[in-house]
Amino acid sequence: MTNQSIAIIGGGLTGLVAALRLAEKGACVTVFEAGQKLGGLAASFQMQGEPMEKAYHHLFITDVEILDLIRELGMDDRLEWLESSLAIFRDGKAWPFMSPLDLLRFKPCSLAGRIRLGLVALHLKHRSRWEGLVKVSAINWMRRACGSSATKAVWEPLLNGKFSDSAESVSMAWLWARLHIRSNSREKGARREKLGYIRGGFIEIIKAMEARLKSLGVRIELNARIGSIEEANGRVAIHRDRGNELFDAALFTGSNRAFSRVLPDSELTVDYKTALAQVRYLGAICMVFETDQKLGDFYWVNVNEKDSPFLVMIRHTKLVPAERYGGKEIYYLGAYVPHEDRRFTLDTGELRDEWFTTLKGMHPEFETQRVSQFHCFRFRDAQHVVDCDYESKLLPYEGPFPGLYLANFAQIFPQDRGTNFAVREGNKVAQRIESALADR
């Protein structure tokens, strides 16, 4: 691939991995990132002088693609496996949800429902095929398998919180993938699940990737917004306010919606843009705050109360030692919301007050005046709706004209987005681009 010029649009993990693989083959690679930093959803900010992810991250032992990358980058010594803890907040209480005994004590659903929940969990753990679940609604499948009591206490709140008004249409294949990975991520014989975290935060992976790319001669441009992408006599023209450039190939790693905005309205793209629009996206909100208060005994709490404005409460310092953050406790509150939802556009101060009121209802000892740092991040296209027709909406890596490619988390199925699959997609699309250019 010597002297082949390739543009990578988007500096998240998928784009960086693809850039690395293509540069290793000798291509002349340029990475365009619209933001001020590389990283995408793994981008960070500072808390107590330590990098923190804007959106919470951890690894499972089944995340083989990113674990291989970490080893390749020589970062094994930064990877820690830390004991996790999980609870469901329901009926005014956090119920541990880590063992069969915890399940039997879960009073918000009937005893029969608890037993059926356990049997279903075992079934999904060992079920290796998902194809027969694609056209089946996850909620309807759980209603039949677990019964009404367990579905109302566990699955309906989780799916409604994740997918809002699209919850009833979400494919059981998607839920199978989430549960199958999670249930198989515990080492055999282990009492508790362990999750992986990078000492210094996931930004350390991005920094190592950036250093490796620069050593291979990759050009990285930040604050590089793309105006449009067009076909130009067998090559790809990228138009920016700083001028136009031609490439032998280009890979776009942003959302389908973002890709549609940079494509011209032409005969080449009209049907393709219609296909892009078939995927619906939800936004995400992550509040991160620091306090000296310990709220609860769990790392991850799914909030299954009907009127809660957020879906999850994460005590980051229950997983990662608080000593690394000056002894302070760090928490995330997270929600997925439609773009038109008031929470997505509400003033940050008002949103903070509303969410902290709910948090105080969960933990009456919580005192807002003891919050020493607070940040709120909103991501517009953070989660795609994986409905029962989603297989027909999957797009290939190849874009609307030769030389142009798309790779983003909306092409991952039935698995959900995540750092592991971002690495996997980067590897796969790089191979596809290399093969296509070799055949020219």
Tell me whether residue 16 is in a domain.
yes
Query: What is the rounded CA–CA span in Å between residue 40 and residue 44?
Result: 9
Domain of 406, CATH number, reads 3.50.50.60
Quick check: 187 pLDDT over 80? no
The CATH number that applies at residue 378 is 3.90.660.10
Average pLDDT, the chain: 94
Same domain, 113 and 174: yes
Of all residues in the chain, the percent with pLDDT exceeding 90 is 87
Is 132 found in the same domain as 48? no
Residue ending a domain, among 364, 384, 404, is 384
Average pLDDT over residues 282-308: 96
Residues 113 and 257 grouped into a single domain: no
In this structure, the answer to whether residues 241 and 321 fall within a common structural domain is: no
Do 420 and 345 share a structural domain?
no
Do 30 and 8 form a contact (C-beta atoms < 8 A)? yes
Q: What is the pLDDT of residue 44?
A: 86
Same domain as 286, residue 272: no
| Residue 86 domain flag | no
For the chain, the domain total comes to 3
> What average pLDDT does this structure show over 274-291?
96
Residue 94 lies in a domain: no
Which residues, at least 6 apart from 293, have a Cβ–Cβ distance to it below 8 Å? Answer: 329, 365, 366, 367, 370
pLDDT at residue 181, rounded to an integer? 83
Per-residue pLDDT reduced to its tens digit, 300-344? 999 999 899 999 999 999 999 999 999 999 999 999 999 999 999
414 in Cβ contact with 171 (< 8 Å): yes
Write the pLDDT tens digit of every residue in 66-95.
999 999 999 999 999 999 999 999 999 999
Burial 344-358 (b: 16+ CB within 10 A, else e): bebeeeebbeebbeb
Regarding whether 398 and 374 lie in a shared domain, the answer is no
Mean pLDDT calculated for residue range 248-253? 98
| The model's pTM | 0.94
Q: What is the tens place of the pLDDT at every residue in 376-427?
A: 999 999 999 999 999 999 999 999 999 999 999 999 999 988 899 999 999 9
Average pLDDT over residues 164-190: 87
**pLDDT tier for residue 184 given thresholds of 50, 70 and 90:** confident
Considering the domain boundaries, does residue 84 fall inside one? no
Is residue 49 located within the same domain as residue 18? Answer: yes
**Site of tokens 């989430």:** 178
Read off the pLDDT band of 189 (50, 70, 90). low
Tokens of 282: 């939800």
Residue 76 lies in a domain: no
Which domain covers residue 339, as residue numbers? 281-384
Closest CA to 333 of 361, 357, 313, 351: 313
